[in-house]
Structure 1
Amino acid sequence: MFALPSAAPQPLAGRVVLLSGAHGGLGAAAAQACAAAGATLVLLGRRLPRLNRVYDAVAQAGHEPLLYPLDLEGASPDDYAELADRLHAELGRLDGVLHCAAEFRGLTPLEHLDPAAFARAIHVNLTAPWWLLQACLPLLRQSADASVVLAVDDPARVGQAYWGGYGIAQHGLRAMVGMLANELAATTVRVAGLQPGPMRTPLRARAYADDLGEDLRDPEAYAGACVTLLSPAGAAWRGQVWDAAAGGVE
Structure 2
Amino acid sequence: MSAGAAAAGARGALDGRVVLVNGAHGGLGKAASLACARDGATVVLLGRKTPKLNRVYDAIARHAEGPLPEPVNLPVDLAGAGPDDYADLARRIEGQLGRLDGLLHCAAEFKGLTPLEHTDPADFARTLHVDLTARWWLTQACLPLLRRAEDAAVVFVVDDPIATAGAYWGAYGLAQSGQAAMVTMLHAELASGAVRVAGLQPGPMRTPLRANAYVEADDARARDPAEYAAACVHLLSAQGADRRGTIWRPAA
TM-score over 0.5 (shorter chain): yes
The one-character-per-residue Cα deviations of 1:60-115 (angstroms, maximum 9, x if unpaired) are: 34211000000000001000000011111111100000010000001100011111
* Higher alpha-carbon deviation: 97-106 or 214-223: 214-223
Q: Which amino acid aligns with 1:13?
A: D
Match in the other structure for 1:77 = 83
Could you tell me which runs of 5 or more consecutive residues in structure 2 were left unpaired when the two chains were aligned: 1-9
Helix, strand or coil at the partner of 2:74? strand
1:58 & 1:128 partners in 2: Cα distance? 26
2:112 & 2:162 partners in 1: Cα distance? 17
1:115 & 1:215 partners in 2: Cα distance? 32
Q: CA deviation at 1:156?
A: 2.1
Q: Which amino acid aligns with 2:70?
A: E
- Check if 1:120 corresponds to 2:130: no
The one-character-per-residue Cα deviations of 1:47-71 (angstroms, maximum 9, x if unpaired) are: 0010011111122342110000000
The one-character-per-residue Cα deviations of 1:135-168 (angstroms, maximum 9, x if unpaired) are: 0000000000001000000112211110000100
Q: 2:32 aligns with which of 20, 30, 33?
A: 30
Match in the other structure for 2:74 = 68
Helix, strand or coil at the partner of 1:190? strand
Q: Which amino acid aligns with 2:53?
A: L
Q: In angstroms, what is the RMSD of aligned CA positions?
A: 1.2
Helix, strand or coil at the partner of 2:127? helix
Number of residue equivalences? 239
1:91 & 1:208 partners in 2: Cα distance? 41
Q: Which amino acid aligns with 2:50?
A: L
1:234 & 1:212 partners in 2: Cα distance? 34
- Check if 1:138 corresponds to 2:154: no
Q: Which amino acid aligns with 1:160?
A: G
Match in the other structure for 2:12 = 10
Q: Which amino acid aligns with 1:143?
A: A
- Check if 1:89 corresponds to 2:116: no
Match in the other structure for 1:244 = 250
Helix, strand or coil at the partner of 2:218? coil
Alignment of 1:145-184 (within 5 A): 145-184=151-190
The one-character-per-residue Cα deviations of 1:116-136 (angstroms, maximum 9, x if unpaired) are: 111111111000000000000
- Check if 1:200 corresponds to 2:206: yes
Match in the other structure for 1:54 = 56
Work out whether residues 205 and 211 of structure 1, in 8 Å CA contact, stay in contact via their aligned partners in 2.
no
Residues 191, 211 of structure 1: CA spacing in aligned structure 2 closer, same or farther, 3 A cutoff? farther
2:42 & 2:94 partners in 1: Cα distance? 14
Q: Structure with the greater relative contact order (CA < 8 A, sep ≥ 6): 1 or 2? A: 2
Helix, strand or coil at the partner of 1:87? helix
Q: CA deviation at 1:211?
A: 4.3
Q: Which amino acid aligns with 1:42?
A: V
Could you tell me which runs of 5 or more consecutive residues in structure 1 were left unpaired when the two chains were aligned: 1-7
